[in-house]
Structure formats: structure tokens, C-alpha cells
Amino acid sequence: MKEAMLYSPLEEGKVKCHLCSHRCVISPSKKGICGVRENREGKLFSLVFGRAISMNVDPIEKKPLFHLLPGSTSFSIATVGCNFRCLQCQNHEISQMPVDEKRIDGSLAPPSKIVSLAKENRCRSISYTYTEPTIYFEYAYETAALASQEGIKNVFVTNGYMTEEALKTIQPYLDGANVDLKSYREKFYKEVCGARLKPVLESLKLMKALGIWVEITTLVIPTLNDSEKELEEIAQFILSLGAEVPWHLSAFYPTYKLINLPRTPAATLHRAREIGLKTGLRYVYCGNIPGQGGEDTFCPHCGRNVIERMGFRVVKNDVAGGECRHCHAKIEGIWA
């Protein structure tokens, strides 16, 4: 256990957590919504510090991050737990373990070991992913600080539900983030995720203001968030952040508690991509449909294919020093 960051004591031994936008008020001997932060005698503790449930070497494209060191590998870690209750969670075995199974599992791997493993595997970044990194904030924070000293980038793959305090605390060490913008409807966030939309939008605005490289993913679920109107609204919001913000449109496959809906047709994703490009976004991608188009990066100036992908593999990269090799126009991202 490790005493938590970002909480305040209240009367009667209660504490208030300031890590995510639930801002849980936690009574003695109780846990927050995430299931991994517990009030012990008026102090809040993280139950997952240094306890990794998953450690893998992944292509950075798997996050998905297409404009952050493309073609490189990222050492990916997670603990159990999550502050959302998404019905469609593809990693529910670990994200919901503290709630569904009432247990916390994981192997001991302190921050120094994570950084050492990243170096051994020649990974250019560490991704805090698979579950929600906000709920293992102390672990991610200490790891990211060590990684930064070694010249290793740090990436959050997140639902974007962290507080302003949490984001400003991690910002000095956080280079990039892929944020799930799951819907543009409060109803969806409430009924499907157990959360609210507004804090996610505010986090995205703050990330941009703090200079964190941002890419956004929307899992397009038939009948729930696939209307052209909603997709247009998401695209307009992303455009308000900046035309350079990449938007990943990912295909849904029935899983966990959402098995009664069909998988997303490729045609739906291609139509959504058209909407994004028509809105004015420069980089819009289709995911979970490898080989069916929508994976490549095109120069917004000359229109040439500058990064060609097949699944999570880069097969051609014509971006040099952040510029198109053909016309020397700027291609936004982190390239070095």
C-alpha cells in the first residue's frame, strides 16, 4: 500500500478523493468507486501501487497513437481497477476485478523495474493503458518521472475523467494521451459508462492547453452512438480543440455486458471518417478493420500517403523531422 496523492480529510474520519471527477467521499474502511483506493483510519491509500496486472511490449499504433513516434514500441502496463463501468469493456476481467470478483491481483513491479524493462526492450515510451491509469495515479506518476529522466516518453490511454488537479500534477511527465470520447450524449455516459460527459470534454481542453499531444478514439457502437448527427457533433468538438487532433474511429465487437448488438460495419466507420474530414479534421482513422482502409496518414497539404499502415505495423513512413518528404508541409505530432 501507498498513501494516496490528491485527497483531503473530512469530519468523522472520512476523506475526499480529488483524483477523478467522481470526487468520492469515502468513509473509514471503505473504497472509492474505482475499488482500489481505501480509507484506512482517515488516510487514503492506493492498493495497487507497484502491482502490475499486465506488462507487454506493444506497437505504439495499438494504443492507438499514430502521430507519436510511429513504428516504435511502447512498454505497456496496467493495474486492476477502473472508475468507469462500461458495458462494452474489452478488458473487464482486470478493469472490473475489484468490483466483480472483490479481489485485487497483480505482480510486484516497482516503478524502477518498469523503466528498466522499458529500456531493456528498447521501448521509446511507456503506456499506462488497458485499464484506467488515473486510478493507479501514484504508480504512473513515479514511473513517469523516472522514465522522463531516461528520455523515455510517457503516454496515458485514458477515459479522460481525471480532475484538473491530477492532470496538472502529471503534466510535466506526460507527453501524450489517447482519450476515449465515447459519445457526445450525457445519457450514453450515464447509462453505458456510469459517468458524465462534461468532465471528459474539460480534460481534453486542458490537455491541449497544457501542451500534451492528444489523439481521440471513439468506439462506434451500432444504435448507441453511430448517428450522423452525433458523429458530426463529436467532429465539431474535436475541431474546436484543433484541426490537427487525430480522431480514431474504432469498430465495436460484442463483449462483456453488451453482447446483444451487432459488430460495427466497415461502411459505418468509413462514413464517419468522411464526416470528420468534411468537418475539417486533418487526420481521421478507421480502426479494428485491418486491411479495409482508413489506416494511413495523408499529408494535408499535398494529399500524398506519407505513413502507410497494415494493422499495427508501419510499412512506409515518409515523414522526416515532422515534415512531408514530398512537399515539406508540417505533419503534426511527436516525431523525435
Which CATH number does the domain housing residue 115 bear?
3.20.20.70
Are residues 194 and 80 located together in one domain of the fold? yes
Give CA–CA dist 47/66, Å, rounded. Answer: 33
Is there a single domain that holds both residue 142 and residue 194? yes
Residue 23: predicted pLDDT? 98
Rounded to an integer, what is the distance from CA 45 to the centroid of its chain? 24
Question: Which of 277, 295, 313 corresponds to the end of one domain?
Answer: 295
Query: CA-to-CA distance for 319 and 307, rounded, in angstroms?
Result: 7
Return the biggest CA–CA distance within the chain: 66
Containing structural domain, residue 12: 2-46
Q: Which residues contact 79 (CB under 8 A, 6 or more apart)?
A: 36, 48, 51, 52, 53, 106, 131, 135, 136, 139
Using CA atoms, how far apart are residues 143 and 106, in angstroms rounded to an integer? Answer: 16
Does residue 323 lie within any of the structural domains?
no
With respect to residue 30, please indicate whether it lies within any of the assigned structural domains: yes
In tens digits, the chain (336 residues) has pLDDT values of: 899 999 999 999 999 999 999 999 999 999 999 999 999 999 999 999 999 999 999 999 999 999 999 999 999 999 999 999 999 999 999 999 999 999 999 999 999 999 999 999 999 999 999 999 999 999 999 999 999 999 999 999 999 999 999 999 999 999 999 999 999 999 999 999 999 999 999 999 999 999 999 999 999 999 999 999 999 999 999 999 999 999 999 999 999 999 999 999 999 999 999 999 999 999 999 999 988 999 999 999 999 999 999 989 999 999 999 999 999 999 999 998
Residue 331 within a domain: no
Within-domain flag for 324: no
CB-CB neighbours of 103 under 10 Å: 9
pLDDT at 1: 85
Final residue before a domain boundary, out of 14, 30, 46:
46
- What is the reported pLDDT for 311? 86
The SS3 assignment for 103 reads coil
Does 326 map to a domain?
no
Assess whether 126 and 233 both reside in one domain.
Answer: yes
Task: Kindly state whether residues 35 and 71 are assigned to the same domain.
Answer: no
Same domain, 25 and 116: no
Q: Where is the domain boundary, 295, 310, 331?
A: 295
Q: Is 166 in the same domain as 226?
A: yes
Q: Judge whether 290 lies within some domain.
A: yes
Cis peptide before 64 (omega within 30 of 0): yes
Distance (Å, whole) CA 253 – CA 250: 10
Residues 107 and 190 in one domain: yes
Q: Is residue 155 a contact partner of residue 178, using CB atoms and an 8 Å limit?
A: yes
Instruction: Tell me the three cell numbers of residue 89.
Output: 469493456
**Is there a single domain that holds both residue 14 and residue 73?**
no
Which residues in 224-270 belong to E strands, given as ranges?
A: 247-251
330 domain-assigned: no
Are 187 and 56 found together in one domain? yes
Whole-angstrom Cα distance, residue 141 to residue 147? Answer: 10
d(Cα 270, Cα 277) in Å, to the nearest integer? 11
Question: Looking at the 3D structure of the chain, how many domains does it have?
Answer: 2
Q: Are 110 and 82 in contact (CB under 8 A)?
A: no
C-alpha grid cell, residue 139: 504508480
Omega of the bond leading into 222 within 30 degrees of 0 (cis): no
Q: Is the domain of 29 the same as that of 108?
A: no
Q: Taking the model in full, what pTM does it have?
A: 0.97
**Claim to verify: residue 105 and residue 206 sit in the same structural domain:** yes
For residue 154, give the nearest of 146, 166, 162, 165 by alpha carbon.
146
Instruction: Note whether 110 and 132 are same-domain residues.
Output: yes
Q: Is position 306 within any domain?
A: no
